[in-house]
A and B are shown apart, each in its own frame.
Chain A
Amino acid sequence: MSLTIQQPERVKKRFVFSDLQLRPFLLALVCAVILLLALTAAYAAGDRNPYAGDAKAAKAGEYEFRINCALCHGLGAHGGGRGPDLTRAQKKHVHSDEEMFQVISNGIPGTVMPSNGTNGQGVGMTDEEIWQIITYIRSVEVKAPANAAGIAAHGKELFYGDANCSLCHMVEGKGGRLGPELTAVGGSRTRESMIDSVRNPSRQLAWGLTEATKEFPQEYETVTVVTADGKQIKGVALNEDNFSVQMMDGNEQIHLLEKDKLRSFQKSRESMMPKYSPDALSDKDLQDIVAYLIGVGAK
């Protein structure tokens, strides 16, 4: 007896485009309905900012911004460790109020910008509140062009040359691996915080690996260990838990170590990045490097 399993006879008929071609009228009707629905939805979501320029709405928006956005974008929308400075008139992902509404509602895939109501904290903002927040952001925008200060071309030369940034940092696939990759940094951090990171690299360590279920990301802490055979290794922590550490040394070698097998383990928040004083890197040169990074980050 054959063991072949018979296919069920009734295969659900698939809906194919050719069906529509046979019914041009139906197609037109469907298209019209879709168009109508889309228009209605767009109108219902508030295609236009109903509060544009309204100072009272901007104030309400400021409080909503503090509650919903400031964790990443900073108090005053000046940007934080995670989110871009929103006081810049020129933004990477959005231009119009309507685009901003879409981004706040739906998030930006591939970034940490979440869609409204998905952070587990309640049901999210109402449309009205989103428009208030947009009105607030518009009210604090500084209309200066993003690249006014600094000469990006010279900054690029310095980055890959005399300033030695590229020994440890990579931009657009070129550079070292020990420090954070900086292609996007110009789009996500303020000019002031980038300058501060060069002048005082240890004041606020950069964030590294973020694990999905962990509350805090890894930071670029400096780790110094002495192995069981007496070898000292100094480098940057890639990740760590109570019992193991994954680190990269100055030669970009990765070391995977169990803490209880080490002779000593020391962790420091003194960054491996040298502190660039104005003597080593002038304010003007630093401005140029930042201008370069902002230019790359805006792409």
Chain B
Amino acid sequence: MTAGRLLANLLIAGLACGFFAPPARAQVTFERLLNSGKEPQNWLTYSGDYSGRRFSSLDQINITNARSLVAKWVYQTGATGKLETTPLVADGILYATAQDDRALALDARTGRPIWMYQHQLPGDIRPCCGRVNRGLAILGDKVFLGTLDAHVIALDTKTGNVIWDIVAADYQKGYSFTVAPLAVKNLVVIGVSGGEYGVRGFIDAYDAATGERQWRFYTVPGPGEPGHETWEGDSWKIGGAPAWNTGTYDAVTNQIFWPTGNPSPSNRGEGRAGDNLYSNSLLALNADTGKMNWYFQFTKHDEHDWDATQVPVMIDAGGKHLIAQANRNGFFYVIDRTTGKLMFANAYGKTTWSDSKDAEGRPVAKKEASPTLEGHTVCPGALGTTNFMAPAYDPQTMLFYVTARDQCDIFSTAPQPYEAGHAYYGSAYFPSEDAEPYRGFLKALDPTTGNIKWKFEHTSPTWSGVLSTAGGLVFTGDAEGNLIALDAASGKASWHFQMGGAVYAAPMAFAVDGKEYVAIAAGSAVYAFALP
């Protein structure tokens, strides 16, 4: 036996005995998800933890050294269209999604792929806004993917093999998934998209082991259920109220907080008189049963496509347990998450649709804000002051960071008959030519007062989310392709990198072998940055 072969045999024996195995790839248990703050090197849920703060307690990259950040690797997905994924990182492996329902696992240190999966989509899917996906959930030895043809799929974390694949709804009627699911206990919680197609929205929970559905909460109540009376005639059957962004989870009260979107048709109120519950609402659901404990409706009887699907961020401040949401309608709402009562709602961008508040303090729409046949201008426009861009809350600065846009649109009615699987808007909207040019910002809001502490103005509005870190930094991307690090206290940019493609995703942070990385998707690629 040569020395070389001896060494090889020893290596094989060593591997078999686990001597050379990488750090134990422990399964991602619910306990680990609950206590994700204890392992800041990992990023285990869409928003980084159950509270939705998108805050990393890593501080190796900080305000004093951020200027020396460099790109460590780039992974090209080869997909076209908008890349909206937030990667997960568990024990050195990065899991991400890409357009057309791709999922992939990369070596988080090098960006080299370990496995890739692509769901076979039919040719006639009904995406609303691009063939996008915002990410995976992880639990045990599986990652979970919601697809554009309304499947929920469990993949093996080690191979990308399909463990189970279930059909949640009929994609030909406009149902789809773009959301990153949320794993809670033994459940995979997921909300449907399709507010542009007259779906009846729902939030589902599946057994992570088997894919068997454990509960479904219809966001539009059926006959005999409370809230059903807020719909005219049969309009509830096609009432929309999708649930296409990831919610949060409060273990203390065992409640899932999940936001919902626009009633259908999205821009026409005629034919669905009433508040249209539970569209544009925050729902507090019992995690085990899916039963609703309380709800708060942000925009009643919406006619401007102002989905309230922004991540509801759990904040504890002043002895109160709160939820903060910077809403698409231009107001920043802070709600007591124990009772569901509104604390306050303050405009954080340009709004013209409301000039009064109801007894609870909720902004009320002016009658003149409704779309008309001739069309007239309302701010914010249909894309909203913010949209799906993930916000962040930094417990150190106690500031809430959100991507905001000032843009007004002309809303003009265009009545359409409902037809299953066919786009169902009921109105059209256009950029208002006479309005100010569109402006884009990163804004830092004080969740105790609603005041704007600072704002950073972009060259043009961006679709990027935000990450805040214990290094005193806020990271965000811009429409021109930069990843930017800003001083979390002042909003002053301290570093940037031109990635060559617009950002539609939110950054996240992780560490491997003691080295901190910040990762973000831009253009068709995923980028990771670290200190040299």
Contacts and interface: CB of A to CB of B under 8 A. Distances in A.
Contacts of A120: 81, 127, 129-131
B425 A75 contact: no
B430 A269 contact: no
Contact of B414 (A66, A204, A211): A66
Interface string B454-472: 0000111101000000000
Nearest to B463: A215
Interface residues of A, number: 27
Given A70-B428, A120-B81, A242-B482, A213 B502 contact: yes
Contacts of A211: 480, 502
B502 A126 contact: no
Contact of B482 (A121, A122, A241): A241
B287 to A, nearest CB: 33
Contact of A122 (B197, B375, B433, B480): B197
B461 to A, nearest CB: 7
Nearest to B197: A122
Interface in A133-151: none
A121 B423 contact: yes
Contact of A214 (B416, B460, B498): B460
A210 to B, nearest CB: 12
B459 A240 contact: yes
Interface in B443-499: 458-461, 463, 478-482, 484, 493, 496, 498
A71 B415 CA distance: 17
A81 interface: yes
Nearest to B498: A241
Nearest to A245: B459
A121 B428 contact: no
A101 B430 CA distance: 24
Interface string B405-423: 0000010101110000111
Nearest to A129: B422
Given A64-B414, A81-B433, A243 B423 contact: no
A215 B461 contact: yes
Interface in B35-51: none
A29 interface: no
A5 interface: no
B18 interface: no
Contacts of B498: 241, 243
Interface string B289-319: 0000000000000000000000000000000
B61 to A, nearest CB: 19
A66 B425 CA distance: 11
A11 interface: no
Interface in A237-261: 240-243
Contacts of B131: 120
B20 interface: no
B438 A63 contact: no
A63 B416 contact: yes
Contact of A215 (B196, B197, B421, B502): B502
Of A66, A70, A204, A213, most B-chain CB atoms within 10 Å: A213
B414 A67 contact: yes
Contacts of B430: 70-71, 75, 80
A213 B523 contact: yes
A242 B492 CA distance: 12
Nearest to B125: A123
B458 A242 contact: yes
A64 to B, nearest CB: 7
Contact of B459 (A62, A63, A80, A242): A242
A201 to B, nearest CB: 15
Contacts of B493: 242-243
B437 interface: yes
A126 B481 CA distance: 36
B496 A243 contact: yes
Contacts of A75: 375, 410, 412, 430
Interface string B422-441: 11010110110100011000
B501 A213 contact: yes
Nearest to B431: A71
B128 interface: yes
Given A67-B428, A241-B478, A242-B478, A122 B437 contact: no
A87 B91 CA distance: 62
A121 B480 contact: no
Interface in A171-219: 204, 211, 213-216, 219
Given A81-B433, A241-B481, A216 B425 contact: no
A70 B437 CA distance: 19
Contacts of A71: 428, 430-431
Contacts of B124: 123
A214 B433 contact: no
B54 interface: no
Nearest to A215: B479
B461 A66 contact: no
Of B414, B415, B461, most A-chain CB atoms within 10 Å: B414
B362 interface: no
Contact of A67 (B127, B416, B433, B502): B416
Interface string A95-138: 00000000000000000000000001111001000000000000
A126 B129 contact: no
Contacts of B463: 215
B126 interface: yes
Nearest to B501: A213
Contacts of A62: 414
A241 B480 contact: yes
B128 A121 contact: yes
Contacts of A242: 458-459, 478, 480, 482, 484, 493, 496
Contact of A243 (B127, B375, B482, B523): B482
Given A211-B502, A214-B460, A66 B412 contact: yes
Contacts of B412: 66, 70, 75
Nearest to B437: A269
A123 B415 contact: no
B126 A122 contact: yes
Contacts of A70: 412, 428, 430
Interface in B124-160: 124-131
Nearest to B497: A243
7 contacts: A63-B428, A67-B423, A70-B412, A216-B460, A241-B478, A242-B484, A243-B498
Interface of B: 81-82, 124-131, 196-197, 375, 410, 412, 414-416, 421-423, 425, 427-428, 430-431, 433, 437-438, 458-461, 463, 478-482, 484, 493, 496, 498, 501-502, 523
Given A63-B414, A80-B430, 20 more contacts: A64-B416, A66-B414, A67-B428, A70-B430, A75-B430, A120-B127, A120-B131, A204-B433, A213-B502, A213-B523, A214-B480, A214-B502, A215-B460, A215-B502, A219-B437, A240-B480, A241-B459, A242-B459, A243-B493, A243-B496
Q: Which 7 A-B pairs have the closest CB atoms?
A: A241-B480, A66-B428, A63-B414, A120-B130, A213-B502, A122-B423, A66-B414
